[in-house]
Amino acid sequence: MAARPAPRSPEALFARNRWAFSVGTLGRDMVYALVSLYLIVFITEVLNASDTFVWWAGWLILGARLFDAVMDIVMGSIVDNTRSRWGHYKPWIAAGAVASAACTLLLFTDLGLPDAGYITAFALLYLLWGLTWTMNDIPYWALLPALTLDQKQREKIGALAKIFATIGLFSVVVAILPVTQALGSGTRAWFLFTAAVVAIMVVGQLVTLVGVREPRLSVEQPKVTLRGLWRVVVGNDQLLWTAIAMVLFMTGYVTTTSFGIYFFKYAYRDEGMYTSFGAVLGVAQLTGFLIFPLFRRRFSRRTLYTGATATIVAGYVLFFFAPMNMIWIGIAGLLLFVGQSFVVVLMLVFLTDCIEYGHWKLGNRNAAVTFALQPFINKVGAALGTQIVSVVVVVSGINSAATPDDVTPEGLLMMKLAMLVLPLILIVAGYLIYRAKYRIDEAFYTRIVDELAQRGQLTADPGVSATDHEK
């Protein structure tokens, strides 16, 4: 029998896991940005679909994402119940990455069908994409809280992961128009761009699968039943309030970002400036993720969330009243996305802490089910945001306009209100819910972990991987 390799030091294991996990978000967020932000653009601006198709496509995307969001919770229970030599998470991460890559390519393909046939094919493809993405998304993010119990280490992993995710997201935002235009601007150009993005995702996922060694943090839990699944979600009050606050925030965020190309093409009258603006936003978000750990050393999470929300509010107000000048719009974008980056990291760690809270309150550690609320939140927010955009571009006359001059001032105002005022209301509402209902601060979390350890329900052994225990 071969000797088992000597355990790594906790510090070395943490460093390896932090980087290997974070690199995997690069391509994932490129694919997610492509589908969530630009699928509707591909339909309206590249395929030149009719108002009828755009209308139905919007509702189909909404229905598919809401269905898929519910399936996230079911997938969480499947992952928690998985027992394999590779642990709970890696088999599903691998299968989901390959399957969702194939579906993404098909979504950005001109199927050459009439409206009725294409609507049917689109509905099936989009639903399949959502389900296969769930196969990867749930176990991937559930892996994060399985890497450490330390709040500060989780924040470090989350911040680094979001840095790579932001690079991926804004690489797509900045590159999609110039690259597809260089390739010919048609459906073939978009397919080739999609193929490159998908390839980057697969390579990044391989880094995570090979590089991450999951420590054993808790005793093995009994499998969750469908009846118990409801209790895991509903019985965790902190998880539910966090989810509501995050849905409101993500709906506002996705609505604003999804209007980007339309704003610069029809209101600013220079579509090419969208790429420059995307670069500004990417730098702003990266800056936010980089400076978050510095601010976290001096301020509590609650203080940071309050400051981030105030920054976002200032950005929206400035953007709404700014003249069509890139200096003022750029400053507004910086405020919006620096504040947004802080909220994204905070929401991520709020969810991770809900895992220990649910373990403490309900008696079982259901990490994947609990963390399934993050993709659930993202999908509901993206679904509602995309639907707002699809309805507005039809009702305002933007989709049927041959040129920017064909859009009326009333139509432009409708787009501006949907892009800036409605999201601001939603984001502030999410913050107010957090302030009123969320109570897992640093002291309470320490108490939770101490009590779980006293019960014998936590067995942190950072030098030994979970796969070693499976063997």
φ, ψ of residue 59 to 5 degrees: the values are -70, -35
d(CA 192, CA 3): 47
Domains defined along the chain, listed by start: 20-211+225-450 (1.20.1250.20)
pLDDT at 428: 96
Return the sign of the alpha-carbon dihedral for residues 38, 44, 49, 52. positive
φ, ψ of residue 463 to 5 degrees: the values are -90, -10
pLDDT at 471: 38
SS3 at position 459: strand
Cα-based distances in Å from 12 to 6, 171, 427, 462: 13, 30, 39, 10
pLDDT at 92: 92
| Ordered per-residue pLDDT tens for the chain, 471 residues | 444 444 567 788 888 989 999 999 999 999 988 998 888 888 888 887 777 777 777 777 777 777 877 777 777 778 777 777 777 789 999 999 999 999 999 999 887 776 677 778 888 888 899 889 989 988 898 888 778 877 778 888 888 898 898 889 888 988 988 999 999 888 899 999 999 999 999 999 999 999 988 776 554 555 665 566 667 777 888 988 998 999 999 999 889 988 888 889 888 888 888 888 888 888 888 888 889 888 988 999 899 999 999 999 999 999 999 888 888 998 999 999 899 989 988 988 888 888 889 888 888 777 667 767 777 787 788 778 878 988 898 889 888 887 888 889 999 999 999 999 999 999 999 999 999 999 998 889 889 988 888 887 766 544 444 444 333
Residue written as token pair 């460093």: 15
pLDDT at 218: 53
Q: Can you spell out the DSSP letters for 350-400?
A: HHHHHHHHHHHHHSS--HHHHHTHHHHHHHHHHHHHHHHHHHHHHHTSTTT
pLDDT at 222: 56
Cα dihedral: 327, 330, 334, 337 (round 10)? 170
d(CA 424, CA 255): 10
Enumerate long-range contacts of 316-319, CB under 8 Å, 24 or more apart: 316/420, 316/421, 316/423, 316/424, 317/424, 319/420
| Cα of 395 vs its chain's centroid, Å | 28
Residue 57, CB-side half-sphere exposure with 13 Å CA sphere: 29
Contact 172, 275 (CB under 8 A): no
Quote the longest CA-to-CA distance of the chain: 77
Residues, the chain: 471
Q: Can you spell out the DSSP letters for 222-291?
A: PPPPHHHHHHHHHT-HHHHHHHHHHHHHHHHHHHHHHTHHHIIIIISS-TTHHHHHHHHHHHHHHHHHHH
Contact 54, 390 (CB under 8 A): yes
Closest CA to 82 of 70, 94, 97, 99: 94
pLDDT at 295: 92
d(CA 213, CA 146): 10
Residue 106 belongs to what H/E stretch?
helix 90-107
Residue 216, CB-side half-sphere exposure with 13 Å CA sphere: 18
